């Protein structure tokens, strides 16, 4: 169950959208029993879920972070995190449902910000656009009330994602561990595309996080990676070293 009480409900052609409030946090849901996103009412940039922290870990694996892509805006927790801790980074956030964007602004404190570009379209159509810029990190977290979005299971789209990455770019994906066939299929495709093994980690709640690299796969527990993990941990009060230790 979702903590707190329902404070808002709307719907679009894809179904209902709920907002719950427990006094400390706001929750976005597409089903009244399943949380999709969560934002702390006072500390908007705090990543409250371990799997979100794991997706943010990808930020330390690229030499620089000029542009970041968020596939699945939800309540905007990752957008808040990036705007707070990477203020010079240009953030493109994809959200197919315009009412979700509206709810994120009205109930989850998402600002209009010059560094944040929200696109109201699906992944397939976005990847078909002919924009020339690339991303240093692409994060895919596309879910519906029924579970992982079909486009996130579509391995044909991952070649297009890699084309959108910078030369040392990182693709990080939140897959459903309850769907091992899709996890295995996506992993094999990404390893075929990149020509090297991925990192992965499984977290409570059914999240299987997969990291794929366009450039050389970074080695864990090396000086540069450890330095960046320590710096990110210090400024966010999140133990990213603990997350990194779970990667395989």
DSSP string, 205-233: TTEEEEEEESSPPPPTT-HHHHHHHHHHH
Q: Which of 31, 3, 15, 123 is nearest to 73 (CA)?
A: 123
103 burial class (0-12, 13-18, 19+ CB within 10 angstroms)? buried
pTM summary value: 0.96
Average pLDDT, the chain: 95
State how far the Cα of 193 lies from the Cα of 232, in Å rounded to an integer: 29
Q: Which sign does the torsion angle of CA 79, 84, 85, 90 carry?
A: positive
Residues 65 and 123: their CA atoms lie apart, in Å, by 21
DSSP designation for 204: T
Please write the tens of the pLDDT for every residue from 21-69. 999 999 999 999 999 999 999 999 999 999 999 999 999 999 999 999 9
Pick from 208, 186, 188: nearest CA to 197: 188
Report domain 45-244's class: alpha beta
pLDDT of 203 reads 93
**Distance of alpha carbon 38 from its chain centroid, rounded?**
13
pLDDT band at 1 (very low <50, low <70, confident <90, very high): confident
Q: Tell me, what DSSP letter sits at residue 110?
A: P
Residue 211: CB atoms within 10 Å: 22
> Does residue 221 carry a pLDDT above 90?
no
pLDDT of res. 39 = 98
pLDDT grade, residue 143 (50/70/90)? very high
Query: Interior CA angle at 3 toward 239 and 35, to 5°?
Result: 70
The closest alpha carbon to 202, from 247, 153, 141, 152, belongs to 247
- Alpha helix positions (H), 109-244: 123-128, 150-153, 156-164, 180-194, 223-236, 240-244
Mean pLDDT computed over 236-245: 96
Structure tokens at 134: 């690339």
In terms of C-beta density within 10 A (0-12 exposed, 13-18 middle, 19 or more buried), how is residue 154 classed?
middle
pLDDT value of residue 30? 95
In the numeric block, the tokens 């960046």 are attached to: 228
Kind and range of the H or E run holding 15 = strand 15-21
The domain limits of the chain are 45-244
């Amino acid at each position: 169950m979702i903590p707190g009480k329902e404070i808002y409900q709307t719907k679009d052609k894809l179904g209902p959208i709920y907002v719950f409030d427990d006094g400390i946090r706001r929750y976005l849901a597409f089903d009244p029993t399943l949380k999709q996103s969560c934002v702390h009412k006072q500390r908007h940039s705090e990543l409250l879920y371990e799997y979100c922290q794991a997706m943010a870990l990808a930020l330390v694996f690229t030499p620089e972070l000029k542009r970041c892509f968020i596939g699945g805006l939800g309540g905007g927790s990752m957008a808040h995190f990036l705007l707070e801790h990477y203020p010079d980074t240009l953030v493109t956030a994809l959200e197919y449902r315009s009412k979700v964007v509206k709810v994120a602004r009205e109930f989850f404190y998402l600002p209009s910000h010059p560094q944040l570009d929200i696109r109201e379209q699906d992944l397939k159509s976005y990847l078909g656009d002919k924009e020339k810029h690339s991303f240093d990190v692409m994060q895919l977290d596309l879910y519906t009330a029924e579970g992982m979005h079909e486009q996130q299971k579509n391995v044909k789209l991952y070649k297009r994602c890699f084309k959108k990455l910078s030369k040392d770019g990182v693709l990080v994906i939140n897959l459903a561990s309850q769907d091992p066939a899709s996890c295995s299929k996506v992993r094999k495709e990404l390893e075929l595309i990149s020509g090297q093994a991925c990192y992965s980690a499984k977290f409570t709640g059914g999240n299987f996080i997969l990291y794929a690299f366009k450039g050389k796969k970074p080695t864990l527990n090396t000086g540069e990676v450890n330095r960046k993990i320590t710096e990110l941990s210090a400024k966010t009060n999140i133990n990213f070293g603990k997350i990194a230790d779970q990667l395989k």
